[in-house]
Structures are given as C-alpha cells and as structure tokens.
C-alpha cells in the first residue's frame, strides 16, 4: 500500500476511534460528572451565531447542568494569529461574555476567563514547544487550513505554534475533555502528544497531565444564509444577539433555488435544506416534516416560517442579553472573577511543572 493510502487509512481509523471515545464520554458524564473537567473556548472575533448556538453552546450548558466542571476560555491572544488586535477588543470580549450568559452559561458554576490575563498559559508554552518537532507542526492539517483561511502568504510563528498554545490552554487546568468539531482533532492530537511526552520525560511514574479526549458534537453542520460555510466575517450568519428585524432581513436575502416545492434534500438542494434544517432545529422538529408542511408554499413561506422560528426561539435569550449588555460593569466583573479562579489553578500547575522540571531555585 502506498504511504498516502496508509495515512488516509490511519486518518479514518483515528476518526472512528475519536468518535467511539467521544460516545463513551457521554456514559461517563452520567455516572461520574465530577471525574471530568471540560475546557472549551472561542476567539473573540465577532458575535456568536446560530452555528455556535446549536453546535456547541447548548452542549456546554447541558454539561454544566449535568454537574461537569467547565471552563470557558476567551482566546483573545489567538485573535492576533491572523489579524492585528483591534481597539474594539474589550467591547468584543464583553459581548462574548453576554452571549455566554444569555444562553445559560452560569458563572456560578462555570469559569469564564480571558486567556491574556493568565500569563502562566504563555509560560507553559516554553516546555511544551520543546516537546514537538517542527515537521509535526508543519504537517498539522488544521494549521494549514487556518493559514489558507487567513489569506496570509505565510504563517506567523504564532499561527504555526497555535496547537502548542492550545495545548497550554487545555492543560494548564488539567482539562481532560475538549468539545470540538472534527476539524480541530489534529490540534487536540498535538495536545495529547505533548501531555504524553511531558509525562514520559518529567513524571514517568505518575502521569502529571491528562491526555484530553475530544467530545465531538453530533449537531448537524449549518451553512450560512448564502449556502457557504457559516462565518462571522461573511455576513451570512444570524447572530444570537441580532434584532428581530436584522434576522428577518438576513433571511429574506438568503439564497434558495428555482425549485417551487420545498423539500429536504441536503445533497441535491443544500441552500433550501439548510434553511429547513435551521427552522427544524429552532422548532425542535424533524427537517423532513417541516419541509413537507411547507411544500407548495415555496421559498416565501419557508422564509416566513424560519424567521418566526428563529425569533421565537431566541426571544428569551435576546431579552436576557439586552439586559446584560446594559450592565457592562457586571459583565466585566464576571470575567475578572473567572480569571481569578483560572489564575489560581494556573499558578498551582506551574508550581508543579517547575518542581517536575527541576527549575525551583
Ligand atoms: N481553536 C479554537 C477556535 O478557533 C479556539 C480555542 C482556543 C480553543 N483555545 C482552545 C478551543 C482550547 C478549545 C480548547 O475556535
């Protein structure tokens, strides 16, 4: 077998493996929620949208409510991977915190914190960088994709070492579960490799870092209103915090096709089916049933049904969000309290890392 075919096979095997491990985690959460620490995060590059809502935010709230300890990292330093840090960052971060709280993330149970305010995370990158090779980083398909998406001709050192930074984000608190999309699996694999090598080198008798598991989402992938990948920068995503009018306008301009009868056929009619799927998710119904009901009503009815479904579903979230956003000091306080908690954890980890690495003088 050729080397490439072999690698493709290994890729499939590891995806199947990751899926199986992810499914086993769900059983574990129910039996022993206290045995897990979930670390997840977002880059504050714009408002969170319905893709985040159905893809990951609802899942975070579910885990929190099951009693699984959860930390949510605002990955502000990772915005400078492919852009300058804008002066709007403090406001962007507050908006992100408002999104979190509005969907039900409870700062009494979940730690929300800002990466840049926890210098120990950066510090951990020094030993971690020594544990991976340049070719290993160069091979990482997620870094390649992120570089292509950034539109930059070459990767900065920070983009190149993104997976190492992410390993520090996860391991500083001994996170052992990371909810991610399949596209992030190569990053997580590097975290696992770093944890394993650190343990082998510095703590061979008792593993110090866990090898975190990916928790893969089973939420169907949503496209933007133009049928392309949903993205904060393409203006094709319905923000959680958008007004009802903005929502209606975006849906009115959504791409459909020339078929008059509405059906659910994700392969043959991706744009129409995506709108049907979004309505179905908001309504808690099966996409096929929603499509059938609209049927001959065509695209106009589909858009009306979808607009109502989104606005109705998000009404309580948006109501809470608009109250929260008026209390900027309160949002700031939530972030600072979470950051204090994260800093205490990080300081403890760094102390132990120094001891294991014989750098205590
Ligand atoms: N890479 C993630 C993204 O682009 C954000 C992120 C940064 C993250 N650090 C993390 C996610 C740690 C999970 C765990 O969306």
Q: What separation in Å is there between the alpha carbon of 300 and the centre of ligand 1? A: 38
Secondary structure string (H, E, C) spanning the chain: CCHHHHHHHHHHHHHHHHHHHHHHHHHHHHHCHHHCEEEEEECCCCCCEHHHHHHHHHHHHHHHHHCCEEEEEECCHHHHHCCCCCCCHHHHHHHHHHHHHHHCCCCCCEEEEEHHHCHHHHHHHHHHHCCCCHHHHHHCHHHHHHHHHHCCCCCCHHHHCHHHHHHHHHHCCCCCEEEECHHHHHHHHHHHHHHHHHHHHHCCCCCCCCCCEEEECCCCCCECCCCCECCCCCCCCCECCCCHHHHHHHHHCCCCCCCCCCCCCCCCCHHHHHHHHHHHHHHCCCHHHHHHHHHHHHHHHHHHHHHHHHHHHHHHHHHHHHHHHCCHHHHHHHHHHHHHHHHHHHHHHHHHHHHHCCCCC
Residue 235 backbone phi and psi in degrees, to 5: 55, 40
Distance separating alpha carbons of residues 210 and 195, to the nearest angstrom: 7
Ligand 1 atom 13: residue of nearest CA: 40
State the closest ligand 1 atom to the C-alpha of 166, by its place in the atom list counted from 1: 9
Q: What separation in Å is there between the alpha carbon of 111 and the centre of ligand 1? A: 16
Task: Give Dmax (Cα) for the chain.
Answer: 77
Residue 3's pLDDT is what? 52
| Interval 120-140 mean pLDDT | 96
Residue 149's pLDDT is what? 81
Q: Closest Cα partner for 90 from 80, 102, 76?
A: 76
Q: What separation in Å is there between the alpha carbon of 217 and the centre of ligand 1? A: 15
Q: What separation in Å is there between the alpha carbon of 56 and the centre of ligand 1? A: 12
pLDDT band for position 341 (50/70/90)? very high
- The percent of residues in the chain predicted with pLDDT above 90, rounded, is 79
pLDDT band for position 298 (50/70/90)? very high
* Selected residue with higher pLDDT from 6 and 262: 262
State the closest ligand 1 atom to the C-alpha of 146, by its place in the atom list counted from 1: 4
Using a 10 angstrom Cβ sphere, with 0-12 exposed, 13-18 middle and 19 or more buried, the burial of residue 200 is exposed
Report the pocket of ligand 1 as residue ranges, CB < 6 Å.
Answer: 39-43, 73, 75, 78, 166, 169-170, 178
Q: Please say if the pLDDT value at position 306 is more than 70.
A: yes
| Interval 86-108 mean pLDDT | 96
Q: What separation in Å is there between the alpha carbon of 48 and the centre of ligand 1? A: 14
Distance separating alpha carbons of residues 305 and 13, to the nearest angstrom: 41
Q: What separation in Å is there between the alpha carbon of 245 and the centre of ligand 1? A: 31
To test the pocket of ligand 1, the residue of 38, 39, 40, 41 to mutate (highest count of ligand atoms within 8 Å of its CB) is: 41
Residue 37's pLDDT is what? 97
| Interval 138-151 mean pLDDT | 86
Residue 202's pLDDT is what? 98
Residue 181's pLDDT is what? 80
| Interval 131-135 mean pLDDT | 96
State the closest ligand 1 atom to the C-alpha of 169, by its place in the atom list counted from 1: 12
| Interval 107-126 mean pLDDT | 97
Q: Please say if the pLDDT value at position 103 is more than 80.
A: yes
Residue 183's pLDDT is what? 81
Q: Which tens digit of pLDDT belongs to each residue from 41-93?
A: 999 988 999 999 998 999 999 999 999 999 999 999 988 887 788 899 999 99
State the closest ligand 1 atom to the C-alpha of 162, by its place in the atom list counted from 1: 1
Q: Which tens digit of pLDDT belongs to each residue from 174-187?
A: 999 999 888 888 89
Q: What separation in Å is there between the alpha carbon of 42 and the centre of ligand 1? A: 6
| Interval 334-340 mean pLDDT | 98
State the closest ligand 1 atom to the C-alpha of 165, by its place in the atom list counted from 1: 9
Average pLDDT, the chain: 93
Q: What separation in Å is there between the alpha carbon of 188 and the centre of ligand 1? A: 10
| Interval 327-342 mean pLDDT | 98
Q: Which tens digit of pLDDT belongs to each residue from 9-31?
A: 556 667 888 888 888 999 999 99
Residue 2's pLDDT is what? 52
| Interval 118-123 mean pLDDT | 97
Q: What separation in Å is there between the alpha carbon of 213 and the centre of ligand 1? A: 14
To test the pocket of ligand 1, the residue of 63, 74, 75 to mutate (highest count of ligand atoms within 8 Å of its CB) is: 75
Distance separating alpha carbons of residues 238 and 64, to the nearest angstrom: 25
| Interval 110-124 mean pLDDT | 98
Ligand 1 atom 15: residue of nearest CA: 42
């Amino acid at each position: 077998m050729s080397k490439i075919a072999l690698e493709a096979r290994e890729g499939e095997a590891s995806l199947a493996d990751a899926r199986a491990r992810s499914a086993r985690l769900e059983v574990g959460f129910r039996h022993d929620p206290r045995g897990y620490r979930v670390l997840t995060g977002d880059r504050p590059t714009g408002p969170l949208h319905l893709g985040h809502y159905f893809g990951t935010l609802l899942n975070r709230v579910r885990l929190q409510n099951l009693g699984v300890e959860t930390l949510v990292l605002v990955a502000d330093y990772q915005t400078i991977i492919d852009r300058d840090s804008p002066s709007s960052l403090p406001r962007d971060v507050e908006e992100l915190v408002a999104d979190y709280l509005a969907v039900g993330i409870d700062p009494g149970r979940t730690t929300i914190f800002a990466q840049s305010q926890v210098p120990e995370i950066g510090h951990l990158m020094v030993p971690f960088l020594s544990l991976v090779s340049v070719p290993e980083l160069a091979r990482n398909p997620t870094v390649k994709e992120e570089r292509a998406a950034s539109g930059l001709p070459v990767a900065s050192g920070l983009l190149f070492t993104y997976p190492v930074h992410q390993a520090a984000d996860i391991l500083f608190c001994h996170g052992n579960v990371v909810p991610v999309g399949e596209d992030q699996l190569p990053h997580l694999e590097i975290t696992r490799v770093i944890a394993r090598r650190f343990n082998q080198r510095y703590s061979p008798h008792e593993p110090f870092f866990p090898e975190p598991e990916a928790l893969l989402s089973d939420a169907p992938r949503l496209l933007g209103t133009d049928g392309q990948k949903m993205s904060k920068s393409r203006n094709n995503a319905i923000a959680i915090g958008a007004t009802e009018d903005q929502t209606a306008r975006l849906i009115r301009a959504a791409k459909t096709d020339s078929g008059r009868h509405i059906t659910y056929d994700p392969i043959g009619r991706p744009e129409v089916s995506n709108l049907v799927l979004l309505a179905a998710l908001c309504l808690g119904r099966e996409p096929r049933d929603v499509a059938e009901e609209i049927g001959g009503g065509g695209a106009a009815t589909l858009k009306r049904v979808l607009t109502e479904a989104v606005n109705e579903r998000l009404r309580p979230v948006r109501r809470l969000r608009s109250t929260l956003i008026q209390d900027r000091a309160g949002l700031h306080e939530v972030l600072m309290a979470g950051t204090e908690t994260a800093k205490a954890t990080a300081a403890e980890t760094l102390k132990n890392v120094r001891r294991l690495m014989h750098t205590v003088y």
